[in-house]
Amino acid sequence: MAETTRQEFMLGEGSGTGGGPQNIQLGVGPAHPAMHGIIRIVTELDGEVIVNADVEIGYLHRAFEKDCEQGGWNNAIPFTDRLNYVSPLINNFGYASAVEKLLGIDVTERCKYIRVIMSEISRISDHLTCVGASAMELGAFTVFLYMIKAREYLWELVEAVTGARLTISYGRVGGVKADLPEGFAERTLKAFKETREVLDEVHRLLTGNRIFMDRMVGVGALSREETIAYAITGPLLRAVGVGYDVRRAQPYYTYDRVEFEIPTQKDGDNYARYLVRMAEMEQSMRIVEQALAAIPDGPINVDFEGRPIDPAAYVDQGKQGKTEGLLLLPITLSPNLQGQQRADLNRVNMGDKRVVLPPKETAYGSIEGLMNHFMLIMEGYGIQPPPGEAYFPVEGANGELGFYVVSDGTDRPYRVRCRPPCLPPVAALPRMIAGEMVADLIPTFGSVNMIGGELDR
């Protein structure tokens, strides 16, 4: 007797997967608890087996690409936050780097390290959310609570640096908004220690768990050829054994100077994707630890004459004509609210007047600084990359996140295109779930890590 397939075993011999009239249509979503984010999957079922599926997206289309064309180059950064809102920092930096490529400029060394550190923290929080949510959908609610707890530790770090938890708008063309706060390294190491404990617990709860494995192993698999043909990148590609990672293939920032491994698996099923994500979190923490050890202080070209004064007093003194030595006085701005103090600003932003806002001391204290500030803020001036086009890929949490920007030489982007890393796996979802049970749809969809903001833009 021929070996029975899993489907025949479950349904009895001879159950066909033909398009017979007995097949029923089942719509899942767009308002379905497991469709975190919004998506509609119309499945055609033969009994409990999915014969065919059609995926409908676009429920969160918010006109990202059109919105970006409306304001200046830096004004697009808040919109990029809301693409992949679980790891917004990577989007910020990806977009900023694309514009920097267009401008032909390079950011400071310290800024590169900050971008590496913040990207990796984002990546960890993204993977935590993805693994936690997909475990929750399989009934492991505890894991979800643990993972969100760990994410909270990381978000506290993000908040200390950027001033916001989620929509951080921290990247800037030519630098970042603010320098790292004091004591950041110690706080990070402490948060990582706690995160590692959580990951350890989750490993013990899930990795060898019979129920979890039954739902994940061998489910939602995609062959290596098909994964590549569908342009899938990131953890899903590494789960089929292809070690492609933009951080290694085309190193940007300082990724060529840190040691890390690219975890791969062979099977390409949901379990392999889970293992890849779990291993990647550890690698990301390794990267951050190395970067924190190597981050340079950077040039601080300011000499301290007096004590810092508050911005209002600074402006008042200038109005009264007490300008002697005023430009040398640092002012007391909260670094993560404004980040424009001279010392911090020069450390993390490149010294290019065409791109980076002047420090507040200069803007308040000299006419050149004020003009410079105006020229960058006023409509019709601002950052003006030369006409041309550039594509810059970074490794997002879901795979290659590319920004294709076109400039017509004015202060507004002519076109901003985001290559969304989670669109290809969602497009391939019908292939992953065809021939599987309807219940397998949930873990497979969870492992894809669909993020609505990025998928629909």
Partner 1 sequence: MGVGSFFTSKLDEALGWARKYSIFQYPFVTACCGMEYMATACSHYDIDRFGAGLPRFSPRQADVLFVVGTISHKMAPVLKRIYDQMTEPKWVVAFGVCTCTGGFYDNYATVQGIDTIIPVDIYIPGCPPRPESVIDGLMKLQDKIAGQAQRY
Partner 2 sequence: MEILAELQRRFGDAIVETHEHHGDATAVVARDAILTVLAHCRDDVALAFDVLMDLTAVDYLRYPGREDGPRFEVVYHLYSIAHNHRLRLKVRLDEDDATVPSAVALWPIANWLEREVWDMFGVRFDGHPDPRRLLMYEEFVGHPLRKDYPITRRQPLIGPAT
Count of residues interacting with partner 2 (CB under 8 A): 45
* Residue 208 near which of partner 1, partner 2, none (CB within 5-8 Å, type-dependent): none
The C-alpha atoms of residue 42 and residue 27 are separated, in whole angstroms, by 4
**How far is Cα 131 from Cα 133, in angstroms, rounded to an integer?**
6
Residue 409 sits in the site that holds partner 2 (CB under 8 A): yes
Residue 355 vs residues 92, 107, 220, 415, 445: alpha-carbon distances, Å: 16, 11, 46, 19, 42
Helices 88-103 & 109-137 angle (0-180, nearest 10): 140
Amino acid letter for position 100: E
Distances (CA, A) of 431 to 5, 24, 112, 188, 427: 18, 19, 39, 41, 8
In the list partner 1, partner 2, none, the entry touching 215 (Cβ below 5 to 8 angstroms by class) is none
| Nearer to partner 1 (CB atom), residue 129 or residue 265 | 129
**From 77, 102, 138, 239, residue interacting with partner 2 (rule: CB under 8 A):** 102
Q: Which of 135, 169, 417, 448 binds partner 2 (CB under 8 A)?
A: 417
Q: To which residue do tokens 């924190």 refer?
A: 292
Residue linked to tokens 């342009």: 231
Which of partner 1, partner 2, none interacts with 224 (beta carbon under 5 to 8 A by kind)? Answer: none
Task: Specify burial of residue 193 (Cβ count, 10 A radius: 0-12, 13-18, 19+).
Answer: exposed
Contacts with 325 (C-beta within 8 Å, 6 or more apart), sequence order: 305, 306
The entry of partner 2, partner 1, none near residue 419 (CB within 5 to 8 angstroms by kind) is partner 2
- Of 277 and 347, nearer to partner 1 (C-beta) is 277
96 binds, among partner 1, partner 2, none (CB under 5 to 8 A by kind): none
Q: Which two tokens stand for residue 222?
A: 């995609």
Whether the CB-CB separation of 180 and 94 falls below 8 Å is answered with no
Closest to partner 2 by CB, 51 or 406 = 406
Question: Does 65 help bind partner 2 (rule: CB under 8 A)?
Answer: yes
Q: Is 242 in the site for partner 2 (CB under 8 A)?
A: yes
Residues near partner 1 (CB under 8 A) are 30-33, 36-38, 58-63, 66-67, 78, 81-82, 85-86, 129, 144-145, 148-149, 151-152, 155, 165-167, 452-453, 456
Interface residues with partner 2 (CB under 8 A)?
A: 57-58, 61, 63, 65-67, 69-70, 101-102, 104, 226, 228-231, 233, 242, 244, 249-250, 387-391, 393, 400, 402, 404, 406, 408-409, 414-415, 417, 419, 423-424, 427-428, 431, 456-457
